[in-house]
Amino acid sequence: MNNFQIFLASSINEFKEERNEIGDFIRRIQDVLIDYYTKIKLFECEFHDNSIGLGRKQEEYNKEIEKSEIFLMLVGKKVGQYTLEEYNVAIQSKVPNICVLFQKVDYDTSVREFKKELTKDVTVGEFENVMQLKFLIAESIKNIIGDSMKVQEDGIVLYNKFIKY
Amino acid sequence: MKKINIYLIANEKELLQDEREIGNFIRDLNDKYEEYNIYFKLILDEPKIDGEEIQSSELFFIIFQKEIDEKSINKFDIAYKNFVEYKHPKISTYIKKTNDTIGQSVIEFMKKLDEELGHYYNSYENIDTVKLNIVLHLKTLGLGKIETKEGKIYINEKEIMKLDNIPIILNNKNLETLKKEASELEESFWKLREELKEDPDNDGLFDEFTEIKNKRKNVKESIFELEKKIIDLESSFVKSSTEGKLSKRQIYAKKCLENGDIEAAKEALKLEEITEEANQLLAIQNQRKEALKIKVNELHQRADTLLLDTNNENRFQEIEETYEEAMRIEKESGLLRETMIVYANFLLDEEQEYQKAIDLCEKYLRYIEVEELKIETKDTIEVYKILGKGYYEIKKNDKAEEIFCQIIQLSEKIKEYSDMKMGYFHLSKVYIAQEQYEQAEKYLKKSIEITEKYDKSEKDLCVQYSTLAFIYTTLKKYKSAEKYGKMAIEIAEELERKAEKDEEANEFLGVVYDNLASIYQLQKKYEEALTYYRKGVFIRKKLLPINKKEYAEAIEQLINFVIEVEDKAGMDIRATKFVKNKLKEYEKLNNLDKALSDMNVNSYIGMSLLKEDNNYKESIKYNEEALSILEKVDINSETSFEKSDIVLAHLEICYMLAYSYENLNNDDNAEKYYKKAIDILENYLTMYPEKYDSDLLNLYDDIIALYYRIGRKDEAKIYNERKKKFIKE
């Protein structure tokens, strides 16, 4: 089984609905990939065991970032301290695909400052709605999957099976 | 990888977000179950999906809010029908609680679930309720270890969801109180901790901190215990709801708990009311059990009746089918499974299917153990008796020894002497089989002692004395052997006299005569031996023709004895041995072989009647019967008899008939059978030219003599010519 992991970094409360949609979208991709011996894992801190202490928890998250193929960061009005730390870990660990997606909203200073720090290795995108968000995520996944996957405006075609956004 | 399909119908657009949450939850489950090689596939309801997808799913969820369309109801029906028939998919039905008015379609569907199907439907406000249901279903499917800890659910020690939004947790008053207390204690704990850091030598503060710390720990444990109990209850409820119908009482009590009203739930599940209803059902069940028991008894009676139907060749097979059916009914109805033992007895006594009988008894004993049933010691002994005899017959002497020792032990406990006697007797037989004659003697004597003291059964005593005589013979203690042999005869004679023409008593006496004869023979007391062998023959002769096989064997025994000790039997040894060998195989023979064996038995009796007693008339009777059997047989058919032996037997029969008829002055028949005998022998020698047989010369002489005697000289000359030709060739 070929395994690859996507680390999803964002403020949990701000993007609750989007995270659900992304999770469900990944599940549908996974349902196709499983027949081709490929496993795609979405790591969200929401589902991770919170029983460990806060400091140690972040350490655990950092380890997960290091072993991810895609680092996906959703940015809304502001960038939180932990999300920023996760981004830095991804950069330091040289995660192959780092993708920062900004929601089209009024940002605060933290976002503006963060934008200045972005390097050219980072894929940057903007989204207004979940459809657009899924489109951008699909493009990142295509970098891993390759030609078996086609990204369209309304959905993806994976091994000749259509998955709607 | 094991794939588990979960089918979900959530067709209303208002439920899209819930559907996606479930999808995301399933994705997370897949990550958690990755190392167990299990993959959950969520099948979302789409028009192109057919019934097969539903039937192959393990779980089926249907969620609705305001309306439910016809197609969804049809799919529910497919799932429900499949569940009733095959116990899957496990169905969960949810209605989402909102402020919107429920549509007519939903009202009708709920009515159908309530009144027609008795299927429980849940309601939810938060999608976590559905997620928990999925998790608890996984538990019922035996997938993973599911635990509750600090308000969260863990699968295989990985956190899967929080319980904050589950109504039965959320609305539980006791839990709420405990959580409130925990929160206050938490606050005090940290506050005191800080204070203690500031003032570490303050003993009063330290004591207060310790007290709060312990309370905090205890309250946390109480919360943990209560949450665990609540989830266990929820889990049982999910299991019951997927296994079959739930009662209205259960559903109502569950709703009360979800609303946090434990008193109302308790009231709904009132002990007295449930007990009373259960007692009524038990009474009905008992009546049904009684009726079923009668059916089982009827089947037993049918088996007993079939056993009497000796003309029915298939009766054993029919009896087996009857017992199998009785066993099935007992098993399915929860009746005591006694048929196993009745059937095992039948297999042991009637069919000699020892291994099958043993297997049934072992199965019965396991059943008794697993069900923790208490059966009477006497009944246990009955089972052991079958086991012991079975093991003895299949020569598993160690097992047989162990079982008979248990029988002795149990029967001593309840002072059941007949079983004790039987146990000792069979134990001695096991030792005889192992050639441990001293041990055999020891236990047989114990058995005899019980018979002599308690039940005084003459028949048993006779068998015991006779067996003891056998043991002494083997041990070369002939004096004792003689003593017990005579004691056995004394009883057997009495039994035979009382029973008059009873086949069993007759044969029994015959056997004890033969036994004593052989004891004398071994001691070279030939006169005495001859007396008892003759007695053996004469007693059997009394019952002819029903025991002709036994009679033939007794004569054969007598002849063998005479040949051995006097060497002047004057009998045809070849024919004697032929019969002897074939008789041993008799039971194993096919139909044709049996016919030929019957023919031989008849011919042998005919021969002995002729040579022992000169009883021509009786001899003719048996030989005619032998001939009629032989003439019906196609000697070219597949049989274990040598063709040449059959031809020779045919010749002997014809010769004996000719000889007997001639002595009775029935010349026509004498001529007929001499001619027949000559034809047979001539043909035989044509087939086997290397075999010269002087019997043919004797036959020619016999028929020539007959023709001369009755004045038919021309025919005498013809046979004279044939004789000369034969000699020349």
Taking CA atoms, B37 is separated from A39, B98, B135, in Å, by 12, 39, 17
Pairs from A159-162 (Cβ < 8 Å, separation ≥ 24): A159/A32, A159/A35, A159/A36, A161/A32
Interchain proximity B31–A24, CB inside 8 Å: no
Partners of B152 on chain A (C-beta within 8 Å) are 50-51
What does the pLDDT read at residue B586?
Answer: 45
Interchain proximity A27–B42, CB inside 8 Å: yes
User: If contacts are CB pairs under 8 Å, which of residues 30-89 in chain A contact chain B?
Assistant: 30-31, 34, 39, 41-42, 44, 47-51
**pLDDT tens digits, residue range B620-663?**
988 888 888 888 777 666 666 677 778 888 888 899 899 999 98
> Which two tokens mark B577?
């041995």
What does the pLDDT read at residue B553?
Answer: 80
**Strand, helix or coil at B686?**
helix
- Any chain B CB within 8 A of the CB of A23? yes
Closest chain B C-alpha to A34 CA, distance in angstroms = 9
Residue type, position B582, single letter: K
Interchain proximity B21–A26, CB inside 8 Å: no
Interchain proximity A39–B34, CB inside 8 Å: yes
| Residues on B contacting A at a C-beta cutoff of 8 Å | 1, 3, 17, 19-21, 23-28, 30-31, 34, 39, 41-42, 149-150, 152, 158-160
C-alpha–C-alpha distance, residues B700 and B722, integer Å = 8
Interchain proximity B27–A42, CB inside 8 Å: yes
Query: Quick one: what percent of chain B has pLDDT higher than 70?
Result: 92
Q: Which residue of A has its CA nearest to B38?
A: A34
Query: What does the pLDDT average to over B111-115?
Result: 83
Q: Which residue of A has its CA nearest to B28?
A: A47
Pick the residue of A21, A37, A47, A60 with the most B CBs within 10 A to test the interface with B by mutation.
A47
> Which two tokens mark A149?
């996957």
Query: What does the pLDDT average to over B424-443?
Result: 95
Q: What is the DSSP string of B475-494?
A: TT-HHHHHHHHHHHHHHHHH
Residue type, position B212, single letter: I
Q: Which one of A24, A44, A48 has the shortest CB-CB distance to B20? A: A24
C-alpha–C-alpha distance, residues B578 and A108, integer Å = 117
Q: Which residue of A has its CA nearest to B21?
A: A20
- Give B94's contacts (C-beta < 8 A, 6+ positions apart): B61, B62, B63, B64, B121, B122, B123, B124, B129, B130, B133
Q: Which one of A20, A31, A44 has the shortest CB-CB distance to B20? A: A20
- Any chain B CB within 8 A of the CB of A28? yes
Q: Which one of A27, A48, A51 has the shortest CB-CB distance to B27? A: A27
Residue type, position B575, single letter: A
Interchain proximity A34–B1, CB inside 8 Å: yes
Peptide bond into B545 cis (omega under 30): yes
Pick the residue of B26, B31, B34 with the most A CBs within 10 A to test the interface with A by mutation.
B31
- Asked if pLDDT for residue B567 goes beyond 70, the answer is no
Residue B86: pLDDT band (50, 70, 90) is: confident
Query: Under a CB-based contact definition with an 8 Å cutoff, are residues B64 and B70 in contact?
Result: no
- Give B290's contacts (C-beta < 8 A, 6+ positions apart): none
Listed residue (B427, B421, B423) closest to B440, CA to CA: B427
Instruction: Name the average pLDDT for chain B.
Output: 86
Closest chain B C-alpha to A53 CA, distance in angstroms = 14
- Any chain B CB within 8 A of the CB of A20? yes
C-alpha–C-alpha distance, residues B60 and B552, integer Å = 78
Peptide bond into B47 cis (omega under 30): no
**pLDDT tens digits, residue range B277-309?**
999 999 998 899 999 999 999 999 999 999 888
Query: What does the pLDDT average to over A44-64?
Result: 62
Question: Which has more confidence, B204 or B561?
Answer: B204
Query: What does the pLDDT average to over A28-45?
Result: 90
Q: Which of B153-162, B381-390, B474-483, B665-674 has the lowest mean pLDDT?
A: B153-162
Q: How many helices (H) and strands (E) does chain A have?
A: 5, 8
- Asked if pLDDT for residue B566 goes beyond 80, the answer is no
C-alpha–C-alpha distance, residues A121 and A119, integer Å = 5
Partners of A48 on chain B (C-beta within 8 Å) are 159
Instruction: Name the average pLDDT for chain A.
Output: 87
ipTM: 0.86
Q: Indicate the helix (H) or strand (E) that contains B9.
A: strand B2-9
Interchain proximity A27–B34, CB inside 8 Å: no
Residue B311: pLDDT band (50, 70, 90) is: confident
Query: What does the pLDDT average to over B533-561?
Result: 79
What does the pLDDT read at residue B8?
Answer: 94
Query: Under a CB-based contact definition with an 8 Å cutoff, are residues B62 and B72 in contact?
Result: yes
- Any chain B CB within 8 A of the CB of A134? no
Residue B570: pLDDT band (50, 70, 90) is: very low
Partners of B28 on chain A (C-beta within 8 Å) are 23, 44, 47
Partners of A49 on chain B (C-beta within 8 Å) are 158-159
What does the pLDDT read at residue B584?
Answer: 52
